[in-house]
Structure 1
Amino acid sequence: MVSGSLIVGLGRSGAGLHLPALRRLPPELRDPMRPVLGWDPAVGSRAETAGVTVVASPAEAATRLDPATTVTHVCMPPRGRATVLAALAACGFRRFVIEKPLAVDEAGLEALLRIVGAHRLQVVPMSQWLSSTLTSRIEKIISSGMLGRLISLTFRQRRPRFDRGLRDKQHPTAFDVEIPHSLGAALRLAGGGQVCDAAWGDLRAGGVVVPRLGSAWLTVAHRGGVRTRIDSDLTSPVRERRVHARFTGGTLTGWYPGSEADHHAQLVVDDGRRRGHAVFLDDALGACVADAYRYFATAGGQESATVTDRLAVNADVVRLLADAKRCAARRNPGS
């Protein structure tokens, strides 16, 4: 069992998603009687957050918990994470769960990885679609060959994000919001590749325009021959997180849970002769947090293939998204 939990960034991600996931952890992974500490660099004060004991700095957190065995959830937006990570590492914190994406560009990624290496930090990226039951089921279908060879993947992520988008100062483009989830899953399912094309669109509401934060799409050519198309629309009136895969011998369509309000996924598999439809529990975020705590509790700070793979996949996500942004900027030089 770890000694404690510290949430850095008490906004939507930290207080709205990570904190409830901590409450769902089994007692063998985290003592439910132990308080959760919180520090919000953006606020810089002791603003109250329900269920969290707020501290003013990493130094104060280190006096309340054993920093070497505390799991620190870095939930602040990706800009400036390397500086915050360095401050935490200087106070002795070594175990981190870091929200997606790791950074908004290659420079930020390299700065973060330098700190990880210099302080020998243990990092588990918060890439819940890699812990998703739906992703796991699709991966097994691909590896089994039951539908033949995988030809293409198509992801569609739609939801209304006007309120947050109009005040968002931290996510520079729509590529940084939803697409890191699906791109990570695509790399897990089809392997590495390169961006072929990409574009973005503005968010428009009530006469206000937020450049590049309304929509985004990209295509990826995987080294094994698979093609992936990802579309994200943050101005849609409906919610949907959908994946469609074409094989030489059939198709499958899956729906990831649309929000934290319901943790069920669906999967339809069609081999041309019969069509199967399954509905199943898929608390991917809770599973990702549990995986991280299980790793920290049992590995004792030792590296593992699973953790190395997650960090590598998420680093590739940042690099590919940086390529996609450059491609989108070339398509529309004035944006």
Structure 2
Amino acid sequence: MKRAALLIALTLLIAPPARAQETSASFTESSIQIGYDNRSCDASLEGSLRYNGGGGACNTTPTEYTTGGTFTYNVPAGCDSATIEAYGAGGGGGSSGREGGAGGGGGSVVERAVGTLLVAGGGGGGGGADGNSGGGGGGYGSATVTVAGGEQLDVWVGGGGATNALVNGGAGGGVSGGTAGGVTGGNSVYGGGGGSADDGSGGGGNSTYGGGGGAGKDNGAGNGGDSTYGGGGGGSDGSGGGGTSTNGRNGLSGDGGGGGGGGGYGDTVILGSNGGTGSTSGGAAANGGPGTGGAGGTGSTGKVVITPSASANPSIEVCDGTSNWVPWGN
């Protein structure tokens, strides 16, 4: 049976039928479908084959997410790739006379529904206390990835980090940003780290995709928060310095240390700019994005843009029984 299916598949690739975009009404489990069927793959069609003539009826209109929150993107039928751009949010900036550190900006992230990271734009770090400070600008990441019609992608758009308060630090930007204040600012995965309060010896909160929280006044040895893809939080007047970042920029030390610019993940990564130290100059967002760092105030929200497309090459696809039409034989 498999040998016969292989022969039919090869024949279709060499000489596809003249009406290759027609939808069949008799598409059954483990069948060979001659023509292109745009129905979603599910358990009832597991093992079924279909011919994709390439360059089919894919709606290539870009989808933009410009408000902070979580979303689900459904890949249009007939599309087999998507270009994804993620812009991180800006970190909060601090104002002189306020003694908490500002919150880091939230990260903008796109994952497959199974949790595989595709693209990330890291949030900017929050500015430190004991002086004016600027939040770091959000980072940028982009990539073109293989997708399948009907597949779902999980989308996070980061919110700007909050400015500092008289005593407490600012909250990290969403989604689910770290809590403000306390000996240590709250940690987060997708949101920004929270800024630590006055006498916050533990330093700013940490984050994976968001920016680190800024350090509060009289923070002892507490640094600005650290981040993997976002910027490090700014330092303050204590002996601790700015937070560090693996893929973005480190936070700056000193009174009112500026937040570090966000980094990212993808085929192309551009770093955001650092916020100003001792000034209310927010860092610029990478690649002209919207996530500028707070200029003594709250940072700006990031965004995500997804543009689907279809290849020009014909192929045989098989339903994997979950939600994906995948190239047969891979």
Instruction: Please indicate the TM-score interval, normalised by the length of the shorter structure.
Output: under 0.3
Q: Normalising by the residue count of structure 2, what TM-score does the alignment of the two structures yield?
A: 0.21
Structure of higher CA gyration radius: 2
The structure that is strand-richer by fraction is 1
Relative contact order, CA 8 A, sep 6+: which one is greater? 2
